[in-house]
Copies of this chain bind each other. A is one copy, B any other.
Amino acid sequence: MKKLSQEELKSALFEMGENALVASRLLATAPSALKNECIEMTAKVIEQDKDHIISENQKDIDAAIKNGLSKAMIDRLRLDETRVEDMVRGLRQIVSLEDPVGEILSSTVRPNGLEIRKISVPIGVIAIIYESRPNVTIDSAALCLKAGNAVILRGGSEAINSNLALVHCITKACQEAVLDRNAVQLIPWTDREAVSVMLKMNQYIDLVIPRGGENLIRKVVAESAIPVIKHYKGVCHIYIDKNCNFKMALNLIENAKCQRPGTCNAAEHLLIHNEIADKIAPKIAERLLPRGVELRGDNIFCGLVKEAKPVTDNEWYEEYNDLILSSRVVPDLDSAIAHINKYGSRHSDCVVTNDKQTAEQFMAQVDSAVVYHNASTRFTDGFEFGMGAEIGISTDKIHARGPMGLKELTSYKYLVYGSGQERK
């Protein structure tokens, strides 16, 4: 894409904003069948264009190799037959979900006869800012569309050829389904300046959802004049109470740490009640060391497990995204809760206990999106919660908290039916 002057860039982005706003107004009242047709059509076009998509993706892969990107980055970037098929399957799952728009959320008749109906409506225009994985292009666009929103996508520069090819499929599908082609737009200019301009366009854009690493998200929050829903990171804890089933505790620790350590809902830190620390610590080591988990801990834990390395104080804030687990021995429930509220990221935290009162206090006082009693933190996920596909997990408290599915991509409005009522 040709480099534009700042003025040209601004005017091009404003035009995209205006187009998205117009599209959003049409989408707001589009019937479910039409939105589904468009998503189903996207799946078909992607199947047809598969070879082209994969060859465009190869350009990105070649550039990534040339630019010395990490193996992990290149893996995230890659689209092969299986991943394209996964995208198509994901689209069909979204088709099968219920339309979240038009639900009557409440309805009251006031003493003066006014009938006030609160109904769910699309949010309007949503901007998604994301990094390397090109499948985000398809699944976030489809989720936004299904909820009746127009979308402006801004992917990473390293995936630009893949993203252009994918958005081309959506545009083609919109045209086939006779939906405004501006329902989904990709910003083709990959310089940072484009994001800065977009983040001030609150006359067009209602919501920004950044998906990616903590640095990206912090930049977006710092610059945006548009509401942002996000999570910075997932620093999830398991607290093992003195009164608990050891077998269950060990199973949950193993599952939350090892089942997929790179996810945001994997456990990073373990808090252990000191009355059981000497008994359970060796069992934790016995269970996790063979799984390749590096153990770290405070002084007490390191005294109990010789393989454990000492942890630094700042490390309690850390999301390892890896097979590393830090353990801290705490004197009581209050200290565990205080630790989580201080160092955690308000994502997902679990208490393992047989004591109902301990569980209730933990669940009431831990200030996180999802609080578990005797279950793995790995369940924080749209599908696991029965919402279907999610566009992200929010650790904010405004609008959406926890898994953010179709319902969280809607707003509401009030329809008031009168017969000439005037205010006294």
Point out residues on A near B: beta carbons under 8 Å. Answer: 25, 28-29, 108, 110, 114, 116, 123-124, 202, 206-207, 221-222, 225, 227-229, 245, 248, 251-252, 254-255, 259, 341, 363-365, 367-376, 378-379, 384-386, 396-399, 401-402, 411-423
The winner among A259, A371, A378, A422 for most chain B CB atoms within 10 A is A422
Instruction: Judge whether B413 and A368 touch: CB under 8 Å.
Output: yes
Instruction: Judge whether A420 and B368 touch: CB under 8 Å.
Output: no
Q: How far is the CA of A157 from the CA of B417 in the complex (A)?
A: 43
Q: How far is the CA of A386 from the CA of B123 in the complex (A)?
A: 25
Instruction: Judge whether A420 and B375 touch: CB under 8 Å.
Output: yes
The 6 listed contacts between A and B (C-beta, < 8 Å) are A123-B397, A227-B228, A363-B415, A378-B423, A398-B399, A401-B413
Q: How far is the CA of A4 from the CA of B417 in the complex (A)?
A: 54
Q: How far is the CA of A418 from the CA of B370 in the complex (A)?
A: 13
Say whether, besides A375-B420, A398-B398, A367 and B221 are in contact (CB < 8 Å): no
A-B complex: 5 closest residue pairs judged by Cβ atoms:
A375-B418, A255-B422, A397-B411, A378-B423, A399-B399
* 18 more CB-based (< 8 A) A-B contacts, given A368-B413, A371-B414: A28-B365, A29-B365, A123-B398, A206-B397, A222-B225, A227-B227, A251-B420, A373-B417, A374-B418, A374-B420, A375-B416, A376-B418, A376-B423, A385-B414, A398-B398, A401-B411, A401-B412, A401-B414
Shortest Cβ gap from A309 to chain B (Å)? 27
Say whether, besides A124-B367, A255-B423, A207 and B372 are in contact (CB < 8 Å): no
Residues of B close to A372: CB separation below 8 A:
416, 418
The winner among A124, A254, A398 for most chain B CB atoms within 10 A is A398
Shortest Cβ gap from A96 to chain B (Å)? 17
Shortest Cβ gap from A123 to chain B (Å)? 5
Q: How far is the CA of A398 from the CA of B394 in the complex (A)?
A: 13
Residue of B nearest to A248 (CB): B420
Residue of B nearest to A337 (CB): B25
Residue of B nearest to A22 (CB): B341
Q: How far is the CA of A44 from the CA of B29 in the complex (A)?
A: 51
With beta carbons under 8 angstroms apart, the residue of B110, B363, B368, B375 that contacts A114 is B375
Say whether, besides A373-B416, A378-B423, A413-B369, A116 and B397 are in contact (CB < 8 Å): no
Shortest Cβ gap from A401 to chain B (Å)? 6
With beta carbons under 8 angstroms apart, the residue of B370, B379, B396 that contacts A423 is B379
Residues of B close to A114: CB separation below 8 A:
375, 379, 384
Residues of B close to A401: CB separation below 8 A:
411-414
Shortest Cβ gap from A344 to chain B (Å)? 13
Shortest Cβ gap from A218 to chain B (Å)? 9
Q: How far is the CA of A386 from the CA of B370 in the complex (A)?
A: 31
Residues of B close to A373: CB separation below 8 A:
415-418
Residues of B close to A370: CB separation below 8 A:
413-414, 416
Say whether, besides A221-B225, A365-B29, A413-B369, A374 and B419 are in contact (CB < 8 Å): yes
Shortest Cβ gap from A337 to chain B (Å)? 9
Q: How far is the CA of A416 from the CA of B29 in the complex (A)?
A: 36
Q: How far is the CA of A252 from the CA of B416 in the complex (A)?
A: 14
Instruction: Judge whether B110 and A384 touch: CB under 8 Å.
Output: yes
Shortest Cβ gap from A323 to chain B (Å)? 16
Instruction: Judge whether A420 and B341 touch: CB under 8 Å.
Output: no
Q: How far is the CA of A202 from the CA of B384 in the complex (A)?
A: 30
Shortest Cβ gap from A219 to chain B (Å)? 11
Say whether, besides A399-B398, A413-B368, A414-B370, A421 and B386 are in contact (CB < 8 Å): no
